[in-house]
Amino acid sequence: MDVLGIDIGYGYTKSFSVTPGIQRKLLLPTAVSSYAPDISFGIEIRTIRVNGTRYAVGEEVIINRLPYEATTSEDFVGSPSYMAILGYVLSHTGFRGKLMVTGLPPVFFTGERADRLCQLIRDQWFADDYGKPIPIPETIKVIPQGSGIFFSHVVDHPLIFEKNVLVMDIGYYTLDIVFFAGGKYVEGTATSLPMGVKRVYDEIRRTFEKIHGTFPKDEESIEEIIKHGKYTHFGKEYQLDVRDIIDSYRNMINTTIKSYLGETVKKINYVLSGGGGTVFFQETMKGVIPVEDPQFANARGFYHYGRQFL
């Protein structure tokens, strides 16, 4: 395991690496809370230490209902909470390889910012609950989020590498758009829009409540409705046709992209779609290629980028 790809999304963090013959993937909520014993009520919470400060991360935060900060602001990237996520992934994957590749939101990305983030990561001190140091890889690369989706796809489809490719990264909160021409990332064309799948989830909740009453908070139920048009709760089956909601969302995405790109849209050869939201809408997004394992596509692409870099 010589390369580790880490995709820190606004909703979920994903990592991808490979040991001989085995893909290793990790998924956790992007949730971080400063560890406070008076909040935990005697419950043992596993933590990560960043420069001596303890943080609860991921499921530990959600299960114990600890307060956590928003991840959608520019200030989150490079913050102690952001570093706690990195430390958690390095610890739980047991990574001891040469190279870690992660991403910056495309609207924030510049070469200078990427270099600053690399240096900032190198300056951290990570440790587990017992104070055992968590080593930081000797080489760190930071590339635009969304570009991982491109690299993940071209590994298996090299003929599109030299084409003009638009990439949609459909996340929980945002829809990120990046553009590649002749295999090169085109800076200045990226955008991030508040059009993630949360819009669809919220609309499904509202529609369900009008018909059936209060909807359970867990999003697995929403995903069941999207996939099957129904879900079962305490032995009772609830049906809900959400095709119009999904079609409306798809049309909104298509219209937004065409409006944003203008005449450039005519020069695009391929449109790729990745991110956790893709899996629910791939059947209705005509003309769009959903990449393999879309939720992990960024992390997988980061891994393959790192392999080529080495």
Percent of the chain with pLDDT over 90: 47
**Containing structural domain, residue 82:** 3-104+110-144
In a domain, 72, yes or no: yes
Sheet holding 126-127, edge to edge: 32-34, 53-57, 47-50, 126-127, 133-134
Are both 183 and 210 inside the same structural domain? Answer: yes
Residues 237 and 270 in one domain: yes
Quick: pLDDT tens for 182-204: 889 988 888 888 888 889 989 99
Cβ-in-10-Å burial (0-12, 13-18, 19+) of 73 comes to exposed
The pLDDT of residue 207: 92
pLDDT of residue 227: 82
**Mean pLDDT over the full length of the chain:** 87
**Whole-number pLDDT of residue 217:** 65
pLDDT digits (tens, 9 = 90+) for 204-251: 999 988 988 877 767 778 888 888 888 887 888 889 999 899 889 888
Q: Are residues 91 and 178 in the same domain?
A: no
115 and 246 fall within a common domain: no
Quick one: 166 exposed, middle or buried, by C-beta within 10 A (0-12, 13-18, 19+)?
A: buried
**In this structure, what CATH number is given to the domain that contains residue 248?**
3.30.420.40
264: left (phi over 0), alpha (psi -120 to 50) or beta: alpha
Q: Would you state the pLDDT for residue 281?
A: 62
Q: Binning pLDDT at 50, 70 and 90, where does residue 280 land?
A: low
Residue 287 falls within a domain, yes or no?
yes
Domain annotation covers residue 47: yes
120 and 191 share a domain?
A: no
Instruction: Let me know whether 228 and 122 are in one domain.
Output: no
Q: Is residue 133 part of a domain?
A: yes
How high is the pLDDT of residue 278? 82
Please identify, among 144, 170, 193, the residue that sits at the C-terminal boundary of a domain: 144
In a domain, 230, yes or no: yes
**In-domain check, residue 150:** no
Q: What is the pLDDT of residue 25?
A: 96
Same domain, 76 and 192: no
Q: Are residue 18 and residue 95 in the same domain, yes or no?
A: yes
Q: Are residues 170 and 127 in the same domain?
A: no
For position 309, what pLDDT does the model report? 85
In a domain, 297, yes or no: no
| Among the listed residues 179, 115, 194, 146, the one whose alpha carbon sits nearest the alpha carbon of residue 294 | 146
Spatial neighbors of 233 by CB under 8 A, at least 6 apart, are 216, 221
Domain total in the chain: 2
pLDDT bracket for residue 268 (50, 70, 90) = confident
The two tokens of residue 129 are 């609950």
Same domain, 207 and 165: yes
